[in-house]
Structure 1
Amino acid sequence: MKITPTAIPDVLLIEPTVFGDSRGFFFESYNQKKFVEMTGLPVAFVQDNHSRSQKHVLRGLHYQIRQPQGKLVRVISGEVFDVAVDIRRSSPTFGIWVGDYLTAENKKQMWVPHGFAHGFLVLSDVAEFLYKTTDYWAPEHERCIRWNDSALNVRWPLKGSPLVSEKDANGVLFQDAEVFP
């Protein structure tokens, strides 16, 4: 496993060691002991989520203001552009985003710690996306920042308009969002 900090060092890209031959491949998608040893993060995951979305679906930018969730995310089918936005007011990277391409082919994962808003855009015809979370979903604490807020200037690799839920279309502007201290 290879772990690479992004431009925001708390957000990590994780590349598993893949063993492949003419029959296919095998890799450990998660190993608690190795994750803790290599990251220094004493993380415990309590919930796994699985979404399937069509091309141009954009989900985000989501977070929970209470019961914040750290997320370990990956794609098992297709391709997405995955984004994390630092919403920790005391952070030197407050209001800055990082993004990377996660695909079934590259098998990369992204660690998005709590204190970040998270979203992704589907680039393939269909994508299946897995999330491991450090706390349970709490809809009463869920918040959404508008995906196209010019203050954040996320450079989504998209021509035209994405397909978004009503909740995502009505997300708040970053300047109005509840953020972490």
Structure 2
Amino acid sequence: MDANSTGLNGVVEILPSRYGDHRGYFSETFRDDWFRANVAEVGFVQENQSLSRALGVVRGMHFQTNPFAQGKLVRCIAGSIFDVAVDIRQGSPAFGKWIGVTLTAERGNQLWIPAGFLHGFCTLEPDCLVAYKVTAYYDRNSDKGVAWNDPAIGIQWPEIADPTQLSAKDSQQPLLADLPTYFTYKE
């Protein structure tokens, strides 16, 4: 496995090795000791999966507050997505900045998004299956979000992003400027 910096402090793209032949391939997609040594000293407690049937579905931008703040290790196991992380840690030099990485089933790449960041994605083809490990359990009262198209953040979504495919929850999220401070940057 390789870990590549994304330019957004703490967010890491992971590229598992694949060993293939005429039958297909084998890939070790997660290894706790490697992850702790090369990416983050965290443990995962839950794994989630979502299926988005249509092209251009946007899910996000989501986060959970303390004590249920989640780091997420995201991978696309069918199809491809444009995966986005946004730093929302007050005092961070990168506050409000975003990074986008295309995750594909074909490449098997993954994105680590620590607690203190928003997360969301846009499907780049129909029938995208996304799996992600999280560092804290889901808690409905801690579930928060920010508008996917907040102009102050300025995420450059793919042209196929379809606002008519937003969930009711995602279509009513506040702007980043209207959020209270949930996370504080620590060097």
Map 1:117-128; keep pairs closer than 5 Å. Answer: 117-128=118-129
Asked if residue 150 in structure 1 is aligned to residue 159 in structure 2, the reply is: no
Stretches of structure 1 lacking an aligned partner (at least 5 in a row): none
Change beyond 3 A, Cα 1:160–1:46? closer
Per-residue CA deviation, residues 79-114 of structure 1 (Å, 9 max, x unaligned), is 000000000012110000001100001111000000
Q: State the distance in 2 between where 1:148 and 1:27 align.
A: 35
Instruction: Write out aligned runs for 1:126-137 (5 A).
Output: 126-137=127-138
Is the contact between residue 124 and residue 160 of structure 2 (CA under 8 Å) also seen in structure 1? no
1:47 aligned partner: 46
The reply on whether 1:38 has 2:38 as its aligned counterpart is: yes
Q: Which amino acid aligns with 1:101?
A: T
Unaligned runs of 5+ in 2: none
Query: For 1:9-41, what per-residue CA distance to the aligned partner results, in whole angstroms no more than 9, with x for missing partners?
Result: 3100000010011101111110001111222x2
**Matched residues, percent identical?**
42
Shift in Å at residue 161 of structure 1? 3.0
For the residues of structure 2 that align with 1:43 and 1:142, how far apart are their CA atoms? Answer: 20
- Per-residue CA deviations over 1:41-79 (Å, capped at 9, x if unaligned) read 211000000000022110000001121000000000000
Instruction: Name 1:113's counterpart in structure 2.
Output: 114
Give the TM-score of the pair, scaled to structure 2. 0.93
Deviations 1:100-135 (A, max 9, x none): 100001111000000001000011111000010000
Q: Alpha-carbon deviation of 1:160? A: 6.1
Aligned-partner residue type, residue 180 of structure 1: F
- Say if 2:94 is the partner of 1:102: no
8 Å Cα contact 2:83/2:122 also seen in 1: yes
Q: Cα RMSD (Å) of the superposition? A: 1.0
- Provide the residue aligned with 2:183 in structure 1: 180
Q: Give the match for residue 139 of structure 1.
A: 140
